[in-house]
Amino acid sequence: MAKWVAVAREADFEDQPVKMVIYDGERIALFRLEDGIYAIDDECSHATASLAEGRVDDHIVECPRHGARFDIRTGKHLSFPAVTPVKSYPVKVENGNVYIYVED
């Protein structure tokens, strides 16, 4: 059964536009962009590296290990060496809480 779970507070992004959270043992990277907050798996689909530690340019994050790029809004891979996307999660913000939609 899918559900919305609170993983952060909107205030967490005041000083830092990127936050990594752990839900049910999974690392999830949250990014605050100009048009909202987005969530994708934190681990690059090419090699073990934290996307939350990558360089963000507009809506694209670059893996700090080998430079693979991903669309933060969808998780789609945009460049080699990554050949598969990372999972993205629907996000909503209510009453200052950031929620992601997860499958059980």
Determine the average pLDDT of the residues in 7-13: 97
pTM: 0.96
| Whole-number pLDDT of residue 36 | 97
Give strand ranges (E) for 1-104. Answer: 2-9, 18-23, 26-33, 36-41, 55-57, 60-62, 69-71, 88-89, 91-94, 97-103
The domain covering 2-103 belongs, at the CATH homologous superfamily level, to: Rieske [2Fe-2S] iron-sulphur domain (2.102.10.10)
Summarised one tens digit per residue, pLDDT across range 69-80 is 999 999 999 999
Annotated domain spans of the chain: 2-103
Summarised one tens digit per residue, pLDDT across range 15-55 is 999 999 999 999 999 999 999 999 999 999 999 999 999 99
Distance CA 65, CA 12 (A): 26
Determine the average pLDDT of the residues in 63-89: 97
Determine the average pLDDT of the residues in 69-92: 98
